[in-house]
Amino acid sequence: MPRYQVRVAPRAQAQIDEVAAWWKTNRQAAPTLVVDEFEAAGERLTFAPLSGAIYRQTVFRSVRRLLLPRIRYHIYYEIDEPAGVVRVVAFWHAARGRGPRF
């Protein structure tokens, strides 16, 4: 089974950092949960990149999303199969009224 490399786009990394900082300050019982959940999901995507549901698909682009249920955030990502790369393009709360812009 091939193993994929997970890369995080700068914009997605900024979103993750912002949420992780807020969580660390405001969720005393589990201050590292955002980072822990993201790392676990990233590990999952290295072996099973198709595990996320298709969110948006066009002729040129397919974006999938994977829910992190404990924190209720989605990881939005694309798969570059020939390169063996999963590229995270957004980190977005599941309860927002709309999805992220790409």
**Cα four-point dihedral sign 79, 51, 11, 102:** positive
Q: What are the tens digits of pLDDT across the range 60-98?
A: 789 999 999 999 999 999 999 999 999 999 999 988 878
d(CA 38, CA 25): 18
Q: Which domains does the chain have, with CATH numbers?
A: 5-93 (3.30.2310.20)
pTM above 0.85, yes or no: yes
pLDDT in tens, 10-43: 999 999 999 999 999 999 999 999 999 999 999 9
Backbone torsions φ then ψ of 38, nearest 5 degrees: -65, -45
